[in-house]
Amino acid sequence: MGWFDRFRRQPSGHDAMATALAAARSGDYATALAIWEPMARAGNARAQNNIAACFMGGDGVEESAELAARWLKLSAAAGDAVGQRNLATLYFRGEGVGQDDEEAMRLYRLAAGQGDAQAQDMLSWMLAEQGDYPQARLLAEQAAAQGVAASMTRLGNLHHEALGVERDSTRALLWWRKAAAAGDADGQAMLGAALLTGSQPDAVAALAWLLRARAGGSHLAQKFIPAASRQLSPDQRRQAERRASGPLEQER
């Protein structure tokens, strides 16, 4: 799921919204926008969010972060959790609005309080950066329960580094395994490092996860890859490479 959860259906399930969603998913933004615009002008918060997302992506309209922010302010003010989260992201990035971490956190809190998993994850990250590890852990647990892999990785890190909790390598490894299986590249890198340096090392599995993590964009993986490679024979390295390029299910 991208940071713009653009096309989630409204709880009310109106036929018009469903038609617009189907049109947007097929790339027919003209039809989607023709439906959303009158709904948005009538105060439909999710339609307002969806129009904003189109302006952010340049989907059926000229790209404009400023116009996206205008629509998101309406959506957020009406209490839509996705609109609140997306507006928070604009404030965090300084796109279409002035960069403002405090306003971003306020909006993330509103969305997180409504159970929005992406907002919970982002707020968890921001609080961890500020050193509020207990709240960061609580929010990460809530997001992880909804399948957010980045929060799983963060929970592993908190337990590994004893940030707000007692150090627990077993629990850290458990969270990294969950994050890695869910596709988080940094979680894969941390799992690979743990398998390389832990009490029961497995250099083949470690290298496989590290190579997968690097391919997924994790900058954490590279510093461990040479050490893992040195421990393996050429055949074992090839085995790790095959596992790294195979389906994730092979590495669970």
pLDDT tens for residues 31-60? Answer: 999 999 999 999 999 999 999 999 999 999
Q: How confident is the model at residue 4 (pLDDT cuts 50, 70, 90)?
A: very low
Mean of pLDDT over the chain: 93
Q: How confident is the model at residue 13 (pLDDT cuts 50, 70, 90)?
A: very low
Best CA proximity match to 180, nearest among 219, 162, 142, 206: 206
pLDDT at 144: 98
Delimit the CATH 1.25.40.10 region(s) of the chain: 1-114, 117-183
Contact 61, 54 (CB under 8 A): yes
- Residue 45: both structure tokens together: 């918060």
Q: Report the pLDDT averaged over residues 161-181.
A: 97
Q: What is the pLDDT of residues 89-136, one digit of tens each?
A: 999 999 999 999 999 999 999 999 999 999 999 999 999 999 999 999
pTM, two decimals, is 0.88
**How many residues comprise the chain?**
252
Domain 117-183 matching CATH 1.25.40.10: the answer reads yes
Distances (CA, A) of 25 to 4, 8, 29, 194, 212: 14, 11, 8, 41, 30
Query: Which overall architecture, per CATH, does domain 1-114 show?
Result: Alpha Horseshoe (1.25)
Contact 107, 76 (CB under 8 A): yes
